[in-house]
A = this chain, B = another copy of it.
Amino acid sequence: MSNSLSSLLTIIESVDSFPYIENPYYWKFRSHDGALLGYITPEIASRFIDLPHSKYFEVDKLKKEVTIAGALNDFEERNKVFAEIASDWRKSDDLLNKGWRDELYTVYYPRTKPYMLLERAFSCLLGVVTYGVHINGYIPAEKTKDKVLKMWIPRRSPTKATYPGKLDNTIAGGLGYPYGLWENVVKECYEEGGLDADFVTKNITATGAVTYICQPYGPEGHAQPEIEYTYDLVFESEIDNIPHPVDGEAENFTLMTVEEVKQRMINGEFKPNCALVICDFLIRHGIITAENEPNYLEVLSRLHRRFPFATRN
């Protein structure tokens, strides 16, 4: 894999792009008792000053911080106020309007406890941590006819709002309220791949999580800290339980050898964070190793970025 030697870190850097040094450009978004919830752009911060709801926020221009006021110390109240703000901003914010999903994401604080619910597209504007499940469906080398590990890779529908036509993880979905991880896994496995719960339960293993902070709109765009819980789903043969699109999010599924997957990752054919999830898979399965990847340790650390934010667990 000589031509991939420098490319894997390039993939990681393109996703985990937020600088590791203190970044004075971004403002801090804090809970009513001071916990760091996210990073916001100066433009988003400025919107909190003249807001109809401005009494619920303290804006400190010197410290560059927007803090939820002590008055907003109730879960339901926070949900209501942020729903109103999202609804207002949607009228003038194209990104929020186009990305609107009518789906709620949970902000956690302190650990394991829901702090507030936000419209999925609004989470991006507020730079808070979002969560998803990403599942690598594969056939172990010893169970394929040519004795090489193969992965089930879907192509995203050409009509998807984000990354249309790109390659994806076998199954992947954001963790919306009120689903738990396992419910979400079962739901997405059926909706995206037509896989039934019995098959999934019998063959899936939780394998960790990847954590990174991306900036999909460039170096001074919204910061998006993401946590993707990862799973391995073993298919026992190349001909049984073939995944097939149900909800139309995927156009089709192709069985690819691990070499083909690597090459397509390097070629930029995957949705970037899905390529990152596959890097983690390839490391855990001994396909990317310290011998063939000169930035092995840097890749490993950056797949597991430590967040300064409150997180789910």
Using CB atoms and an 8 Å cutoff, list the residues of chain A in contact with chain B.
20, 111-112, 181-182, 205-209, 211, 227, 229, 283-286, 289-291, 293-298, 300-307, 311-313
Q: Is the CB of A291 within 8 A of B181?
A: yes
A312 to B20, CA, bound (A): 21
By beta carbon, the residue of chain B nearest A283 is B208
Q: Is the CB of B313 within 8 A of A297?
A: yes
Contact of A301 (CB < 8 Å), options: B182, B306, B312:
B306
Q: Is the CB of B294 within 8 A of A211?
A: no
A283 to B229, CA, bound (A): 11
CB neighbours (8 Å) of A289 from chain B are: 206
So how many copies of this chain end up in the complex? 2
Within the complex, the shortest CB–CB distance from A6 to chain B, in Å, comes to 11
Q: Is the CB of A300 within 8 A of B211?
A: yes
Q: Is the CB of A208 within 8 A of B295?
A: no
Q: Is the CB of B207 within 8 A of A290?
A: no
Contact of A313 (CB < 8 Å), options: B211, B283, B293:
B293
Contact of A311 (CB < 8 Å), options: B208, B286, B297, B313:
B297
CB neighbours (8 Å) of A112 from chain B are: 294
Q: Is the CB of A297 within 8 A of B182?
A: no
